[in-house]
Structure 1
Amino acid sequence: MSAPDDVDEIDVSQLQAGPHEHEPHEGGLNNRLNWLRAGVLGANDGIVSTAGIVMGVAGATSDLGTILVAGVAGLAAGALSMGAGEYVSVSTQRDSELALLDKERRELREDPQDELEELAGLYVERGLSEELALQVAKELTERDALAAHAEVELGIDPDDISSAWNAAFASMVSFTIGALLPLLTITLVTPDLRVAVTVVAVALALALTGWASARFGYGPAGRAVARNVLGGLFAMAVTYAIGSALGTHV
């Protein structure tokens, strides 16, 4: 049976309210997406930055100890920096969300009628008739006034406030895991294959993180993979060239 061309042709008496079976609308989505985003970005940064460091040093010297020390130092500094940066960023977002929710609580307490009219007006802007908008606003307000206003006015779920610690931990751990790949590759492979194998391993890992970022963001995978891989290869080529140039003069 073909789908109706217009929503007016749909017989709503045959429908049942609820999400698609393959697209569940579960609570806590904001926090999960937040740490997933931090995890993917952290792994990607760990791969690229550490690969850039070890490739640059490998371009300057073949001494394994020097390469290892530089790579470990870059891993430690990068992981701590990513974790701290993510914590500060998400903490700022969390503080803003909590401040907006406190303001909304105060407005609901001090002037509930104006807030009800405001909520109804927002539903009218979204396409509901004024009568239906007032009815919807009233019923939602009676159920959970703060949640109703926060969702429509602020785009915030009061039960799903961003967690700075989750994002910081995900970012720090994923950066470390990502950084270990180029570090272990370039230190464990024989000197004559060291650079080539590291380049291939990093390219494959960046393809994976590019695909993952597209998957979580519902974007085109091909573009994300190409962007990730080309960016990483460019970074390694530049740092290796710089290391080679400096190695011949220092």
Structure 2
Amino acid sequence: MPTVLARLRSAVTDAASLRSWTVDANDGIIATAGVLEGFAGAGASDATLLTAAVVATIAGGLSLGGAKWSEEAAEREAQLRVAREEAAQLELSPEEEVVELAGYYERKGVSAAVARQVAEELTAADALGAQLEAEHGIREVMARTAPVWAGVSASAAFVLGALVPLLITVLVPGKLEAWAVLVAVIASLVLTSVVSARSGRTGVLRTMTRSLTVGVGTLGISFLAGLLIF
């Protein structure tokens, strides 16, 4: 079972995990900053802004973490169900399963003789694993702790992002707060966009443009909503 340290190392070295972290961190930045801008537009006091920032950070982190945990848990249950079905089919008709596996490789362009040999060798090594990967794209059934880790990591990334606007409410005077939040959000989104683009080998400028459009747009609309309400 992977240790926490191993999971953390994977999260910062694996491109897909790193992109997921930056997306969740961006959610924390934008959602919390949007709440603050809305309250600032309504003329809220410093105490109210701080309360809003703390509540948005806690609620957002728990909500995102819970959603990720639920999503991954459902995926694991689906994988286990498929694995049970494939195991039953292997027990009832192993030869038919070998034929199906060989057919999969034939459709990939492998000759019938070689496909049959590959299917037999893979079945001898790990019959269930071969069937799951070929028929369902499941290379490895998700570990029991994976959904929990997904939820915890998503919550942590959200909170880390939310700390940017939260700290602004603590460190910056009220009159400058709205502008300071906007500047901090832009800087944070630029940084996370660069990380996300580099890890995914996509265009930095295009990724940055999308993030800033969503972020600045959210803050502007939230501020305007606060002005119109009060």
TM-score normalised by length of structure 1: 0.80
Alpha-carbon offset, residue 209 of structure 1: 2.4
Please list every run of 5 or more consecutive structure 2 residues that lacks an aligned counterpart in the other structure: 1-9
Between 203-212 and 125-134, the greater mean CA deviation after superposition: 203-212
> Which has the larger displacement, 136-145 or 184-193?
184-193
Q: Pick from 195, 215, 218: which aligns with 1:232?
A: 215
2:133 aligned residue: 151
Q: What is the percent sequence identity of the aligned residues?
A: 35
Verify the 8 A CA contact 1:119 1:149 in the aligned structure 2.
Answer: yes
Which residue, 110, 119, 137 being the options, matches 2:101? Answer: 119
Q: What do you get for the CA RMSD once the two structures are aligned? A: 2.1
1:168 equivalenced with 2:151 (yes/no) = yes
> How far is 1:78 from its partner?
0.8
Letter in 2 for 1:72: V
- For the residue of structure 1 that corresponds to 2:184, the secondary structure is helix
Once residues 200 and 225 of structure 1 are traced to their aligned partners in structure 2, the CA distance between those partners, rounded to angstroms, is: 15
Q: 1:122 to 1:161 in 2, by over 3 A?
A: farther
Q: Displacement of 1:218 after TM fit?
A: 3.9
- Asked whether 1:192 is paired with 2:179, we answer no
Q: Which whole-Å CA distance do the structure 1 matches of 2:43 and 2:53 have between them? A: 13
Q: Where do residues 59-70 of structure 1 align in structure 2 (5 Å cutoff)?
A: 59-70=41-52
Preserved CA contact (<8 Å) 1:56 1:241: yes
Range that drifts further, 213-222 or 80-89: 213-222
**Equivalences, count:** 218
CA apart distance, 1:61: 1.5
Q: Is the 8 A contact 1:203 1:233 kept in 2?
A: yes
Task: Give 5+ residue unaligned stretches, structure 1.
Answer: 1-27
Structure 2 residue corresponding to 1:204, chosen from 181, 184, 187: 187
Residue in structure 2 matched with residue 137 of structure 1 by the alignment:
119
Q: Distance in 2 between matches of 1:122 and 1:146?
A: 15
Is the CA contact (8 Å cut-off) linking 2:15 and 2:200 kept in structure 1? no
Question: Partner of 1:83 in structure 2?
Answer: 65
Aligned counterpart, 1:73: 55
Aligned equivalents of 2:215 and 2:117: distance in 1?
54
CA-to-partner distance for each residue in 1:190-223, whole Å, 9 max, x for gaps? 2332222211110121122233333444433322
Report if the CA contact (8 A) 1:187-1:194 is conserved. Answer: no
Give the TM-score normalised by the residue count of structure 2: 0.87
In the aligned structure 2, how far is the partner of 1:63 from the partner of 1:72? 14
Q: What do the CA deviations read for 1:104-138 (whole angstroms, capped 9, x no partner)?
A: 11111111100000000000000101111001111
Counterpart CA distance in 1 for 2:143 and 2:198 is 23
Bigger radius of gyration = 1
SS across alignment from 2:138: coil
Asked if 1:223 is matched to 2:188, the reply is no
Aligned partners of 2:69, 2:32: CA distance in 1, in Å? 21
Change (3 A) 1:96 1:77: same
What secondary structure does 2:183 align onto? Answer: helix
Structure having the larger proportion of residues in helix = 2
Report the Cα offset of residue 160 of structure 1: 4.8
Structure 1 stretch 59-68 or stretch 123-132: which is displaced more? 59-68
